[in-house]
Structure 1
């Protein structure tokens, strides 16, 4: 960090005073004159043909204003596409409201609109929907079984994606001759991203602008606008999407939901504001879920512990539909492309499949397959270390990438990182705190302490090039920013990214303030408004600072060039003889010669006749940024110490150490917040959270009584150390930091649990690890 610069400093979050004092404005805070409330009639069966929908009694319920089916609203479908051959990808259309068939419990069938939320709920009770039930498909085994019922008639064997991206020549011979071959089969539980704020929308028609205004909590406002305009058959200019404050998203809100579109359609039809707020039951059972994956992986190692090959089969249960815009390919393609991770894998073969079942559909969730495949690969290294008689950290040392740039067997080029350095430092921190000695002492007392590590990378800053490699029809990537100064010298910045807790109002302002030599208090960020933001892909895949922040810096630099040019013209000198500091332009050769930004703005706006002919009036600049490489790679090593309690099977985390490298940390405190929050979600997946289904497709966890969410008691304090390997591919040197905590935690926790279980001979490879499972393992040892 340069002296006097804001980038690299833990500047206090500018959002906090507003949010902590109750002045935040979330979707549910919005109240418009004449506003109505909506709720949805939802399917009570997992798989069935809709025989009839009778809403006549609903419309007579006191307070109900209207009730609509799909046919009433004439909505277009939400369809996401991959540009792959039909042998690899089968597209499925997701109707906004189910028409002829329902495919999961909770699927919206009709919308009820009433004067208040209670009347809307009463209206649901009066709806009569009859089904011709069909056999539900509720598991991978059932979906892939010969002759299985089809969730979608066009998807043979219930398979939406089936890709084999890599197959190194001679890989079978490598495995046949390898001194050591280890196997891991792992299943991970279906999870809910669980944002504090559930999904919601307020939509109304603006007569003056002839525009449908949709206020919703989404990570991708421009994509919501596109789908809404197409479904409602409106020009895009006739739809405005505005995002107020948002209480978390974590990927669940980076896809376009059905309910938001249906509520907007009702508002358009009724010409009255319509609000829908998702209740927690619907959020847990009928919203987008994630993570249910099955890995069968083997790895070949030499006698020296060096990996020789990796062979994987990945099956991802994507539920009933593809999500927009990422499709059902999001999880198997991520796992297939990036599984080799931080290791020098010379030979690789992978098959990735997305299957469809009668469950709520899947959306990206923080990390997208990386928590799962990192866990599997780290288990392989643990198993190989034991079979070869090597230290589990040492075997990683022998295999991590150390020479950069490195092009892997997966054809991805990794930019410089600190893989070995983070691994060594993490181990040393655990050692220095004496945990190995404490582990030995605990064993002598009959207690079960375990130490586990996970070393991984987080690919961030995906640009158009990276997404195009997946053959997506909708190709995200670039971002656009405008930086504009007014006559008071204050600056307004726009970004196409969308904050849902990541402190964009602070970090983007730090970048601009540094670039313009301006007090950060003079910088204001605008985001999440499709009328004010030219275009944007929103926030996902840790792209906000890498891509959005780079566009912001470029736009600020362009504005800085114009400020220098105007000042230079007034002084009759070259622009490179002008510097920008402390809210003013100054001559480098005579710093007493000053033009404040107010002075320059006065010329640019109010006395434009003084401008040179080659400088246009006004003070605004726009820039775009895209990443035309394979992206940038953050990396980290996590170290975990656990104790297993024999009487209860409880897994207690005694220590958590994170050594991370996200390049230049724009705001270290914000980065640490991302790490801690991500680790909490990773621990949740490792030990607690899971949505299961019975044989009829009924979800088991529809409240926090059944969906086990960890509290502050279960989440430990986290020791965080920062390393810094600046990225050459972003304007600030920053890499993404949003998902790393979640990626590393399941592997580190599971490895620590297995280390503690070593005396029992039991190894666990599935998550979540429940107290019942641990109790059985520990008491198996006790019984013997």
Structure 2
């Protein structure tokens, strides 16, 4: 039986079956590569083979002679404007850098697009690439942040001294040096995190064509931010924004990689307009691994001061983020260092804080946000500091956290952010109790006696979600995301269509948003249809990133549904000649309060609103449509969690085996608990991947090492453990549904918990690891410092 709101209680909070699954699991999904238009051509890109150099010649003469090739264009041929992301900060804090759609005079990383080749099929396009002749005056590449900051380093952008795009000190508590000098214990962590690829199942792609009737360039593309793509495409092609329409079909993952504006999609769209024929570009996996937006490569040097009883007194941090060759649009190269700087104190009551955050440019593919955006890194650093302080002070690592987590709310931190109520201490206690009750502490002791290496590690963290315009404005972004708009429209059959500016790429919006609307209107879930990802049908939207969809987009949807519900009640009240306050909604009808047998079904009211509008009261307009906006004018809402991990280190191979993974999470009211658990498990898998496996490296010439899955180590189902998930619920006060965001939390906690568990297992060696990914070589080197276990009579 189909679920109906109010029939068996509210739909919010119930794990109703995902509405997307029948379509997607039966092969009826429609992704970019499924689109085929009459006369469609195929595009691929001539890409730079050097990391740093001047373009001295781009000869496409032979390309145009390859059988099947229709056209080939350089930057000069297309004459497109550049993509430039801006921050409203002084020059000493931020240096803007223009990213050309196709490289013009200079190349800055291996894989940078230099020219576009258009052919009748994808194979001919690849053949055309082989015929391109590109000449370079090679410059010395810069392949690390140390090299970028070194005296006399080659400049990647002439306008950026010392290859620094962002250099900001957001906080510096007065007297912090004296606090550290007087502290009973000062611990320090220096760490590096590996460069990663977001690896969505579906690579980037676009099908673009010019619609003569509408005088529009239509781009069907897999993006998290369709309106931003529209804005940038219109500017680059020098079109009115109404002359560009962006539509998003089904999308196979994004994870932040697709919440920035790419170059190739715009070049393909420009070629389609130039040729007057549809053009498709699908990124192959090699380009996705080497030339797409990457993430995560960061270096931290952080000190923490503690009192003798384990109370944290201060944090002092240096953060350097390798952002690659260009700033991404719209977030800029500031996205990583500003996130780390603003939110590093996290779940702890840190009274003093100083931080300097820098973004440097190197000859690598540019960086985009990736699920969590610096939080997996700085949480790992802070959690390592607490582990180290616990050891120095002779305290239990869980107990030292208990003494420092925020317990009184609302809490305004040293970073100026106000945290709404959460369950920081409760999640920590439940996570530890779960592992103790399951006997893992005893297993660890028994394993040590047998000469095996078991370790237990924890990570406590919060996830700031529901960033509104006020929060993004604090970063001084020129483009300030935040609000969302929704329209809810009922037709004459009583069915409802909902538009939202969010963009689903696997988060189950078709289900969860429908649950919100069905509850608000008292409708059968099957009567609600969610529409996303079409810039002509949705007034404006910021898309999906930063766990904003349910907190911001869902709140706008709820408000719009509430307005529509009020109009239905006013219609019914006019028919009964009573105040509308004496009506209520329920099960597809408006009822008279106190007399439930007196009711008008939505179909009859819709018939009145559309087909017999002459009967409407003068104060009610025809139709059943409502629009609402929602923004967050405070600091957002904070989900929180504690992750607990048990690992075993294997001698001989250095393999880290995860024996148990427990997640205690609190994202407020879970609209659909099963969906939340899916988000947790997927995020944890990506966090484990960063902790143990994934890393993109470069040689001295700036050539990326990981060009296929033979080189880029991705965990399989065999390496990812089953995850036990426990839910706590601290409702958000301002989202209406009580929901907080849940999209990134799993990723944030996993690296810290895994690293702490590994170091717990290594404790007898006296060696600690601080960098990720944790390689088998690093584990083996540490284990070899362990003396062999003493032999017993039984062993002999």
Alignment TM-score, normalising by the size of structure 2: 0.98
2:573 equivalent in structure 1: 568
CA distance in 1, matches of 2:156, 2:664: 44
Quote the offset at 1:782 in angstroms. Answer: 4.1
Alignment of 1:222-233 (within 5 A): 222-233=227-238
Match of 1:167 among 156, 172, 185: 172
1:673 equivalent in structure 2: 678
CA distance in 2, matches of 1:782, 1:146: 44
In the alignment, structure 1 residue 743 sits paired with structure 2 residue 766:
no
1:69 equivalent in structure 2: 74
Match of 2:225 among 215, 220, 228: 220
Match of 1:647 among 640, 644, 652: 652
Quote the offset at 1:772 in angstroms. Answer: 1.0
2:442 equivalent in structure 1: 437
Unaligned runs of 5+ in 1: none
Match of 1:532 among 529, 532, 537: 537
Quote the offset at 1:594 in angstroms. Answer: 1.5
Which digits, 9 at most, give the CA deviation of each residue in 1:730-771, with x for residues without a partner?
121110000000000000000000000001111000000011
TM-align CA RMSD = 0.8
Q: Is the 8 A contact 2:211 2:218 kept in 1?
A: yes
1:343 equivalent in structure 2: 348
1:100 equivalent in structure 2: 105
Alignment of 1:261-340 (within 5 A): 261-340=266-345
Match of 1:465 among 463, 466, 470: 470
Which digits, 9 at most, give the CA deviation of each residue in 1:488-538, with x for residues without a partner?
000000000000000000000000000000000000000000000010000
Match of 2:487 among 462, 474, 482: 482
CA distance in 1, matches of 2:403, 2:397: 10
Quote the offset at 1:110 in angstroms. Answer: 0.1
Match of 1:714 among 719, 741, 754: 719
Match of 2:257 among 252, 266, 282: 252
Quote the offset at 1:780 in angstroms. Answer: 2.5
CA distance in 1, matches of 2:344, 2:359: 16
In the alignment, structure 1 residue 519 sits paired with structure 2 residue 519:
no
Match of 1:402 among 388, 400, 407: 407
1:704 equivalent in structure 2: 709
Which digits, 9 at most, give the CA deviation of each residue in 1:59-84, with x for residues without a partner?
00000000000000000000100000
CA distance in 1, matches of 2:20, 2:788: 56
CA distance in 2, matches of 1:404, 1:355: 37
Query: Structure 1 residues 319 and 783, CA, compared in 2 at 3 Å: closer, same or farther?
Result: farther
CA distance in 2, matches of 1:676, 1:220: 24
Which digits, 9 at most, give the CA deviation of each residue in 1:549-571, with x for residues without a partner?
00000000000000000001101
* DSSP-derived class of the 2:757 partner: helix
1:501 equivalent in structure 2: 506
2:792 equivalent in structure 1: none
In the alignment, structure 1 residue 36 sits paired with structure 2 residue 47:
no
CA distance in 2, matches of 1:455, 1:320: 34
1:239 equivalent in structure 2: 244
Alignment of 1:180-195 (within 5 A): 180-195=185-200
1:79 equivalent in structure 2: 84
CA distance in 2, matches of 1:664, 1:147: 54
Quote the offset at 1:729 in angstroms. Answer: 2.1
Quote the offset at 1:204 in angstroms. Answer: 0.4
* DSSP-derived class of the 1:471 partner: coil
Match of 2:142 among 117, 133, 137: 137
* DSSP-derived class of the 2:299 partner: strand
* DSSP-derived class of the 2:725 partner: strand
Quote the offset at 1:274 in angstroms. Answer: 0.2
Match of 1:111 among 93, 108, 116: 116
Q: Is the 8 A contact 2:183 2:305 kept in 1?
A: yes
In the alignment, structure 1 residue 452 sits paired with structure 2 residue 457:
yes
1:386 equivalent in structure 2: 391
* DSSP-derived class of the 1:441 partner: helix
Quote the offset at 1:573 in angstroms. Answer: 1.0
Quote the offset at 1:574 in angstroms. Answer: 1.2
Quote the offset at 1:783 in angstroms. Answer: 7.2
CA distance in 2, matches of 1:648, 1:780: 15
2:794 equivalent in structure 1: none
CA distance in 1, matches of 2:351, 2:381: 18
CA distance in 2, matches of 1:508, 1:781: 54
Q: Is the 8 A contact 2:54 2:136 kept in 1?
A: yes
* DSSP-derived class of the 2:657 partner: strand
Q: Is the 8 A contact 2:451 2:788 kept in 1?
A: no
2:774 equivalent in structure 1: 769
CA distance in 1, matches of 2:399, 2:147: 42
Unaligned runs of 5+ in 2: 790-796
* DSSP-derived class of the 2:61 partner: coil
2:63 equivalent in structure 1: 58
* DSSP-derived class of the 1:254 partner: coil
Alignment of 1:351-366 (within 5 A): 351-366=356-371
CA distance in 2, matches of 1:400, 1:554: 35
* DSSP-derived class of the 2:674 partner: helix
CA distance in 1, matches of 2:505, 2:787: 48
* DSSP-derived class of the 2:785 partner: helix
Match of 1:543 among 539, 545, 548: 548
Quote the offset at 1:591 in angstroms. Answer: 1.2
CA distance in 1, matches of 2:785, 2:738: 52
CA distance in 2, matches of 1:31, 1:602: 39
* DSSP-derived class of the 2:784 partner: helix
2:793 equivalent in structure 1: none
CA distance in 1, matches of 2:736, 2:596: 28
Match of 2:589 among 565, 579, 584: 584
CA distance in 2, matches of 1:760, 1:658: 28
* DSSP-derived class of the 1:57 partner: helix
Q: How many residues align?
A: 784
* DSSP-derived class of the 2:181 partner: helix
Quote the offset at 1:141 in angstroms. Answer: 1.0
CA distance in 2, matches of 1:431, 1:573: 62
Alignment of 1:583-602 (within 5 A): 583-602=588-607
CA distance in 1, matches of 2:99, 2:538: 28
Quote the offset at 1:610 in angstroms. Answer: 1.1
CA distance in 2, matches of 1:621, 1:733: 22
